[in-house]
Structure 1
Amino acid sequence: MTTFGLCSLFLASAMAIERALAITNPHWYSNHMKTSVTKQTLAVIWCLVLLFALLPIAGVGEYTRQWPGTWCFISTGDREVPGNMFFAITFAVLGIFSLLVTLSCNVVTIRGLIIRCKTKSGTSQSSKQWERLTTETVVQLLGIMCVLLICWSPLLVLMLRMISHQVSSHECNSTAVTSSRNSSRDVQLDCNFFLTAIRLASLNQILDPWVYLLLREILLRKFCLVANAVSNCSIEEPKETQTALDALNKQNHQDGNNLDKPQGSKDVNI
């Protein structure tokens, strides 16, 4: 969980940095960013994260069973273990740092795309295509930023909170915290929310591909067409009903006038 969690965050940061460089410095990007650089960057990220996750084997930090005893993760409150606070704090700080890098680079990318789109505005086919690609990319980046924040912020912030309050997984199952009813209730809430936060973080790897797949211009256009069709049907249906009622009333009025006329009488035009 430590390896794949940090890898997803670091890879998102690397992709955000690459996008920002491609938009802000396209000439430098085309000359220096080769396929070999991408492969080396991926290998370095995987190796560094794997080495960090293996620190407990070297005696730095500890993995413990978490509440409710069905999964293991970094211990957050055991100060007796050598380097445990360093290990837990480093994980949370690295995660928050990668989130900030991703968000800032995505903001730079969105700003660069909007500026370039304004400079290329016009009626030509290329300018319209650039506007379409800009809109699709901005929507995807906003979706990625929302997914990252929702999935990872609760876990990382809660880890720092539990570290500062020295709350460990042992206290969740233990009945030793009976000094105060409020303190035991706060500990239990932190433990329950910690389980929810790790579930949200696990969903990030599932939701990221769907963000790229669903937030595409062609699907957004189809969604708008369907919504427009539904709204038009709901608006036109009362109009058609009112038109039919008006026609029926007119027909009834004409029939009433015909019945009021005596038989054999003729209309005289004056």
Structure 2
Amino acid sequence: MWESNISKSAPEDDAKSGNCVSVSVAFPITMMVTGMVGNSLALMLVYISYKKKENKRKKSFLLCIGSLAFTDLFGQLLTSPIVISVYRADLEWERIDSTGKLCAFFGVCMTMFGLCSLFLASAMAIERSLAITNPHWYANHMKTSFTKLALAVIWCLVLLFSLLPVAGVGQYTLQWPGTWCFISTGDRNIPGNILFSTTFAALGIFSLLVTFSCNVVTIRALVIRCRAKPGSSQSSKQWERLTTETVIQLMGIMCVLFTCWSPLLIMMLKMISTQTSSHHCKPAAFPPSREVQMDCNFFLIAIRLASLNQILDPWVYLLLREILLRKFFQVANAVSNCSLDGQKETQTALDALNKQITDANAQPKQ
């Protein structure tokens, strides 16, 4: 965690000590590097797959995955260096942002790239649901031009929403412990602040519900279609394997999304209702109450989890499917058949027997 060693109500001088900063700065650096590697690798794999002619029907899905990886990568490139700079400035935001404009920029980035990730996840869930439940309609009507237009609309609308505080509706404030800026949740005297913060939380929750609903519909359709196929044919076994991989992937996507985003969105609604904001935790002549301090610490943990989603996205959407899911299926299949080696030997014997029968049939009759 980025600020785990200063999130407790320790003296400010201790939080700004050189050792504390040198230890803490390793966390944002590690997260930035890990996220850049994962999203860059995902973009490379998506580009290679997109250029293949046999993946023509998957181009819309690949565009969605590539857009998500690009959004997460760009978001990290814009925000992580600022956090690292604050740590190098002994946790004094004013040393790198005396005018407050950088704080507004940081808040816009946090809001935009956070909502974009959620909406892109919903777009992919809708796309998968249409592809599985209505394959003929999908093949005839789902064009890449429409997908590109939908992605552009998502980016533009989210950007406009994120710029509302810059236009005077709502406000971005420096959050505890002074290394990041985000939506203010407790200042009712600021015009439109409650509406803006509530709308952000509501849009995030709505996106999670859309993703969950579409993935459940997709899983149900996959299971029904898998059961409808005869269990002895090779195509049926291949479909069963692909169904298992897809269901595991969709379950992983839902778990990651809800784990990373639910705490932040729920905590925002709670802080809005109690008129509490994270910047109230700043050391002052009258320190915050224990309950307020606990809310601020939990809010800090929640934003870390949401930031962690940018690192996990390329793995659960693409890399995990390509690298781990097939291994998982092989292991599960080996356990169910007691021995993977025995299964391979049986298959080899069957292949040899089939070859002998084919050779015998191919011999000319005397």
Give the whole-Å Cα distance in 1 for the aligned partners of 2:171 and 2:332: 51
Does residue 218 (structure 1) correspond to residue 323 (structure 2)? The answer is: no
Query: What is the DSSP-based 3-state SS (H/G/I as helix, E as strand, rest coil) of the residue aligned with 2:189?
Result: coil
- Return the offset for 1:153: 0.2
Of stretches 66-75 and 183-192 in structure 1, the one that deviates more from structure 2 is 183-192
Using a 3 Å threshold, how does the CA distance of structure 1 residues 227 and 27 change in structure 2: closer, same or farther? Answer: closer
Give the whole-Å Cα distance in 1 for the aligned partners of 2:335 and 2:160: 50
- Return the offset for 1:214: 2.6
Could you tell me which amino acid in structure 1 is paired with residue 296 of structure 2? C
**Is the 1:171–1:177 contact (alpha carbons within 8 Å) kept by the matching residues of 2?**
no
- Return the offset for 1:167: 0.2
Map 1:94-243 to 2 at 5 A.
94-175=203-284, 184-211=289-316, 212-215=318-321, 216-221=324-329, 223-224=331-332
**Is the 2:278–2:299 contact (alpha carbons within 8 Å) kept by the matching residues of 1?**
no
Which deviations, in whole Å up to 9, do the C-alpha atoms of 1:46-69 show, x marking residues without a partner? 000000000011110100000001
Query: What is the DSSP-based 3-state SS (H/G/I as helix, E as strand, rest coil) of the residue aligned with 1:132?
Result: helix
Does residue 44 (structure 1) correspond to residue 150 (structure 2)? The answer is: no
Give the whole-Å Cα distance in 2 for the aligned partners of 1:119 and 1:221: 21
**Is the 1:155–1:197 contact (alpha carbons within 8 Å) kept by the matching residues of 2?**
yes
Give the whole-Å Cα distance in 2 for the aligned partners of 1:106 and 1:224: 23
Of stretches 115-124 and 214-223 in structure 1, the one that deviates more from structure 2 is 214-223
Which deviations, in whole Å up to 9, do the C-alpha atoms of 1:164-202 show, x marking residues without a partner? 000013321155767xxxx81110001001111000001
Could you tell me which amino acid in structure 2 is paired with residue 219 of structure 1? K
Give the whole-Å Cα distance in 2 for the aligned partners of 1:171 and 1:132: 53
Using a 3 Å threshold, how does the CA distance of structure 1 residues 31 and 225 change in structure 2: closer, same or farther? Answer: closer
Give the whole-Å Cα distance in 2 for the aligned partners of 1:31 and 1:208: 29
**Is the 1:59–1:82 contact (alpha carbons within 8 Å) kept by the matching residues of 2?**
yes
- Return the offset for 1:23: 1.2
Of stretches 78-87 and 216-225 in structure 1, the one that deviates more from structure 2 is 216-225
Give the whole-Å Cα distance in 2 for the aligned partners of 1:177 and 1:92: 30
Please identify the structure whose Cα radius of gyration is greater: 1
TM-score by length of 1: 0.79
Could you tell me which amino acid in structure 2 is paired with residue 194 of structure 1? F
Give the whole-Å Cα distance in 2 for the aligned partners of 1:205 and 1:171: 27
**Is the 1:20–1:108 contact (alpha carbons within 8 Å) kept by the matching residues of 2?**
yes
The answer for the alignment partner of 1:259 in structure 2 is none
- Return the offset for 1:226: 9.3
The answer for the alignment partner of 2:185 in structure 1 is 76
Could you tell me which amino acid in structure 1 is paired with residue 326 of structure 2? I
Using a 3 Å threshold, how does the CA distance of structure 1 residues 8 and 30 change in structure 2: closer, same or farther? Answer: same
Using a 3 Å threshold, how does the CA distance of structure 1 residues 161 and 176 change in structure 2: closer, same or farther? Answer: farther
- Return the offset for 1:224: 4.9
**Is the 1:132–1:217 contact (alpha carbons within 8 Å) kept by the matching residues of 2?**
no
Query: What is the DSSP-based 3-state SS (H/G/I as helix, E as strand, rest coil) of the residue aligned with 2:289?
Result: helix
**Is the 2:245–2:326 contact (alpha carbons within 8 Å) kept by the matching residues of 1?**
no
TM-score by length of 2: 0.59
Which deviations, in whole Å up to 9, do the C-alpha atoms of 1:126-162 show, x marking residues without a partner? 1111000000000000000000010000000000000
Using a 3 Å threshold, how does the CA distance of structure 1 residues 93 and 111 change in structure 2: closer, same or farther? Answer: same
Could you tell me which amino acid in structure 2 is paired with residue 124 of structure 1? S
- Return the offset for 1:217: 3.5
Percent of pairs identical after alignment?
74
Does residue 31 (structure 1) correspond to residue 171 (structure 2)? The answer is: no
Give the whole-Å Cα distance in 2 for the aligned partners of 1:175 and 1:140: 47
Give the whole-Å Cα distance in 2 for the aligned partners of 1:25 and 1:177: 61
Give the whole-Å Cα distance in 1 for the aligned partners of 2:208 and 2:276: 24
Could you tell me which amino acid in structure 2 is paired with residue 190 of structure 1? D
Could you tell me which amino acid in structure 1 is paired with residue 294 of structure 2? L
User: CA RMSD, aligned part only?
Assistant: 2.1
Could you tell me which amino acid in structure 2 is paired with residue 193 of structure 1? F
Structure 1: segments with no counterpart, 5+ residues: 233-270
Give the whole-Å Cα distance in 1 for the aligned partners of 2:268 and 2:283: 19
Could you tell me which amino acid in structure 1 is paired with residue 245 of structure 2? E
Q: Work out the number of aligned pairs and report it.
A: 226
